[in-house]
Amino acid sequence: MNTQTLAARRTGSTWVWASTLAIPLLLVAPAIWNGYPLLQWDTGGYLARWYEGYLVPSRSTVFGLYLHFGEDSGFWINLGIQALATLWIVQLMLRVFGMARPSRLAAVSGILIVTTALPWLASMLLTDIFAGLSVLSLFILVLHGDKISAIEKILLFAFTAFAGATHSATLAVLLGLCCVGWIAQPFLRARIAVSGLVQGSLTIVTGAIMLLAANFALSGQLAWTPGGYGVAFGRMLQDGIVAQYLHDHCPEQRLKLCPYRNQLPPTADDFLWGHSMFDKLGRFQGLNDEMGFIVLHSLAEHPVWQAEAATIATAQQLFHVATGEGSDVWLPHTYGIIERYIPKQAARMHAARQQHRGIDFTAVNWIHVPVALASLLLIIAIVTSAIRRRRLDDLTLLAATVGFALLGNAFICGVISGPHDRYGARMVWIATLTALIAAFRHFADGDAPLRDDSFSL
């Protein structure tokens, strides 16, 4: 072995170790800077699941158990898992695209850390980090299973199932992607293996079983996480549909909300989480049946209005991508849960910058929002170009997968909950990763011939 080869290997080894150590630390840099894992409005609801032993709307018991696992470490174990899972899946993505050089991993990871919400997601005690990662893990498992080892397949399967169980919206996006895959498979037999689709589909089943089992273990109820009607009701209230329904049917139906039909707040957040008549009427426990009744009957009575509202909400959600929503405000519920159930961490939590000075994401979003929107445009350009050329390669399949995931996420979150920046930011960074893979392939490997996985449609 000559001196030049030996030096190259040493350089490569240095890059590997530097990347392995530096990238996870940078991914949780916001939490390190904060002095405590970042919190969000919803964090308290997940933390309380272990202690309260009953189901509440939109709070996965699986994620609650995951947080409880890391409590004794001050939740740094959870952040370590999130950072290492991110590094692992990004590394796998580069490997299946033939770009598994340590310098490439360092460059791609560094750009994502600076230009996207990724480190803020990895540093937060929330399910959001798993939304985008699960799309990538499902993509690798279904379409590139032949390029990874058996152990990696098992780990990807378990990770995807767990990620789906942490949030119903994430599970719905993964289910939608599997459905698209089954529809496309007869036309793309050479690229989409039935065995891969079966494995991907089984992750959905496993995630659902995992959630039902956790709900039963903690609450004694073999039931899905509640809350669908409540959040859907909030979106319809915001669109004016609830007010119209109450105007048309009060007082003959004697609904609890009839006396308040002229006092409804303007937004879903004001109704569900502000100090509104929702509190007076018993919140979800007191109003869930009535909200479900109004949701179902409004769908039947105003289908065109509902369709128009759903289309607008989906379109708006695609462009709501700013970082930091829900973590830049006072979080009394989450603080109260930590003080009540984990009092030994209360002092450290209150001493953190987030609670002491707050976090201003204005400057961060000067970078994140333009990058996110440009990445969305590039995804459209890649797919459009492939359709025009009637040729499909692995990059186009990735862009299409990410595009469907973003569209599905926008539809599910926008239609049910209403457009929020948080729902877009937790997913759109995978579009930036796709853009980086495309850029490296074009500029760094532009002279290399296209691999045999390209074929005519």
Residues 138 and 195 in one domain: yes
What's the pLDDT score for residue 126? 97
Hey, what are 375's tokens? 């990445």
Is residue 326 domain-shared with residue 211, that is, in the same domain? Answer: yes
pLDDT of residue 449: 38
Token pair for 125: 């005690």
Mean pLDDT estimate for the chain: 89
- Picking from 56-65, 85-94, 185-194, 224-233, which range would have the lowest pLDDT averaged per residue? 224-233
pLDDT bucket at 347, cuts 50 / 70 / 90: very high
Measured distance CA(333)–CA(171) in Å, rounded: 26
DSSP 442: I
Averaging pLDDT over each range in 19-23, 280-284, 452-456, which range is the top one?
Answer: 280-284
User: Is 372 exposed, middle or buried, given 0-12, 13-18 or 19+ CB atoms closer than 10 A?
Assistant: buried
CB atoms inside a 10 Å sphere around CB 44: 22
Residue 243 CA to residue 250 CA, distance in Å, equals 10
Question: 400 with 346: CB under 8 angstroms?
Answer: no
Which residues sit opposite 187 in a β-bridge? none
pLDDT of residue 18: 62
What gap in Å lies between CA 51 and CA 110, rounded to an integer? 38
Handedness of CA 441, 442, 447, 452 (dihedral sign): positive
Does 9 reside within a domain?
no
What kind and span of H or E run contains 455? strand 455-456
Torsion of CA 258, 259, 260, 263, to 10 degrees: 120
Confidence of residue 433 (pLDDT cuts 50, 70, 90): very high
Read off the pLDDT of each residue in 87-111 and give the average, rounded to a whole number. Answer: 93
- Mean pLDDT lowest among 29-38, 227-236, 348-357, 409-418: 227-236
Residue 377 maps to a domain: yes
Query: Which pLDDT score, from 0 to 100, does residue 454 have?
Result: 39
Residue tagged 């740094």 (tokens): 76
Q: Is residue 311 part of a domain?
A: no
pLDDT in tens, 403-430: 999 999 999 998 888 899 999 999 999 9
- 108 is a domain residue: yes
Q: Are residues 262 and 287 in the same domain?
A: yes
Structure tokens at 278: 């929702």
143 and 275 assigned to the same domain: no
Element (H, E) at 391: strand 391-392
For residue 19, the model assigns a pLDDT of: 64
Residue pair 242/236 in contact (Cβ under 8 Å)? The answer is: yes
Number of compact structural domains in the chain:
2
Asked if 190 and 327 sit in the same domain, the reply is: yes
The answer to whether 117 and 323 are in contact (CB under 8 A) is yes
pLDDT bucket at 149, cuts 50 / 70 / 90? very high
pLDDT confidence band for 2 (50 / 70 / 90) = low
Q: At residue 181, does pLDDT exceed 50? A: yes
Does 216 fall in a domain?
yes
User: Residue 328: its pLDDT value, please?
Assistant: 81
Do 125 and 268 lie in one domain? The reply is no
8 A C-beta contact, residue 226 and residue 59: no
pLDDT digits (tens, 9 = 90+) for 374-388: 999 999 999 998 888
Cα–Cα distance measured from residue 153 to residue 45, given in angstroms and rounded to the nearest whole number: 32
Q: What does the pLDDT look like over 202-219, one tens digit per residue?
A: 999 999 999 999 999 998
Q: Are residues 75 and 191 in the same domain?
A: yes
Question: What's the average model confidence in pLDDT over 39-53?
Answer: 94
Cα(424)–Cα(319) distance, rounded to whole angstroms?
A: 7
* 179 shares its domain with 277: no
% of the chain exceeding 70 in pLDDT: 92
| Pick from 47, 85, 111: nearest CA to 335 | 47
Domain coverage including residue 290: 228-301
Q: Could you tell me which of 91, 115, 88 has the C-alpha nearest to residue 104?
A: 91
The span from the CA of 427 to the CA of 22, in Å, is 23
41, two tokens: 């409005």
Tell how many helices (H) and how many strands (E) occur in the chain.
24, 2
Instruction: Classify residue 457: in a domain, yes or no.
Output: no
